Structure 1
Amino acid sequence: MGEYSLLIILFAPFLGAIALMFVPRQEAFLVRMTAAIAAGISLLASFYIFFAYDTAKGGFQFVQRYAWSDELGIAFYLGVDGIGGPLVFASAILLFAGIFVSWHIQDRTKEFYIFLLILAAATIGVFMSLDLFFLYFFYEMSVLPMYLLLGVWGSHTKGYLSMTDPEGRTLRDSIGFIFNFGSNSKEYAAMKLTLFLSAGAVVALMGILLIYHFSGLHTFDIVVLREQAHFSGNLGTLIWILIFFGFASIAPIWPLHSWSPVGHAANRRDPMRLQHHLRRPCILFRQRHQIRYWLFQLQPYGIYFSGHGRTELHQSQRGCHLYVCACAGH
């Protein structure tokens, strides 16, 4: 189990989602049990890596690497370190808890659990990925199930976030106008979240492609890039800006934060709250951890970014703890 533990953690939810596609929707109990078994397998494997991790040795452990495209330098490369391991463990716990917290859901139960399993697997994939291509792939994979979970099973904001002009008329921003969503609707919250994350992902992708092209290493391997890629001058600054602001929307960091109030107001149902509240700070935490490896080598601003990044990393860790407590409190 030890050698393939990361694969088990990652693919158990995926296989569970596939299995649910063949379960009749009328068999609600079987749907729930299938999801629970898949989540349980992932949780057991995450227990193993959490307690079997050699803290004295450190570094990336339980590594699995499979060549995907030698021509492009892409590999399915998984591994966890002293930060990624606990985050994978926390995600598996939340998935397992989320299955039982949502046991009462009657509306499209089968589809709900399929999307919940896919979202959890994508989140875990972000924490495990040591290849920029697959890190980005899993990051983007989480957007669709998040949109559907919020847009279908979310709750309307009941006017808590309504914006009105001096005459009392409801105001709508560009998203509400284009898609004809009311600012109090869960559909509006889901669309706004999706557009912000997708736009940020495009910006981050530009930074990743610049790293790939100008590093001269012809690889997406994060470990290799951390050790050997060096960028300086305006190019280094540009890459840092693209990566930082590309992932800033998930933080959320001003001015890319306006999806957060409506997203949280529409996300008041317990099952999604478990996934959403921890996923957001933990992905931010992981992204900053990845950025720390190689973007701090950017010159001449490396020293400044390094100090700034470590401060933000500490704040992300603090935020992660606060969100775990908030989830437990709810």
Structure 2
Amino acid sequence: MTIPLIFDTDPGIDDAAAIAILLTNDEFEVRLITSVAGNVSVDKTTNNVLKLTHYFNRPEVKVARGAEKPLVKPFKDASNIHGKSGMPGYEFGELSTKTISKKAVDAIHETLNSYDDKTTLVAVGAFTNIANLIQKYPQDLKKIERLIVMGGSLTGGNLTSVAEFNVFTDPDAAKIVFESDLDITMIGLDVTEKALLTKQSMSELLQMNETGKMLMGLFGHYQDGSDAGGKPMHDVNTLYYLLHPEKYQLEDLWVDVVTDGPAIGATVADILHSTHSQTNVHVAKDIDVPAFNAWYLLQISGISDGNINAGRLEN
């Protein structure tokens, strides 16, 4: 049985690592991919999605351009981590795919209501598009099976001492999402900073096939983690969780999002269950890292060079 989903993303190198699986694994029925401003501007994240739908020869996958800035706070990208384009290191050539005319929020609305069954949402960038959907089309919540997000942290941030990047980028959107009554699973830094693609795994990727070379071209410019210690595959975790939830340890908690002051972007969990009688998020707290590495290598190794539109490594 396939998982029907909408993937909201801001590529970004680890986003590309996830989209490589999304577009090549038959267990996912990709109904829509939406872009959002985050790691780089929305113009660049949209173009990067198109690079990947072109590369993996998936012209039928609908791609919609999303929000160009957060709801309230000024936009600041993460090009220091992902490079100026968001995906440096590989030249994808002339693109054969393009966006649809509808903006992301309207495309999500249309997609959700085009099917009789419910759709899973996966959000691995700022949550602006999802918040816009909740505000503009609140009736659509009943069409969403669940929401899996990469974002947040219970134990410290990667943008500030307390804030994870995706939540920090648009904390007001994250607050709307977390208070929406959606069935939310949060896979944050508590897990993704453990889910490192090891040096050995990266060495195997390089020798594996053209897709492995493409990914290693990108990873060579990825300024998160280290070559020696491993590179965090933050966004890949959302897809691994959907296919292998047994590899994660989760706890149901109430999570608040701080939207102003020095702790802006922090995700604060009521770990002691002292201030809330209910919970609103399933929080991932641990992962089987060796299983994650083995699974990722297996996924990439199965991508035939004959099914892609290969480009070339950038100098």
The structure with the larger Rg is: 1
Q: Which has the higher helix share?
A: 1
TM-score, with structure 2 as normaliser: 0.25
TM-score, with structure 1 as normaliser: 0.24
Structure number with the bigger relative contact order (C-alpha 8 A, sep ≥ 6) is 2
Q: Which has the higher strand share?
A: 2
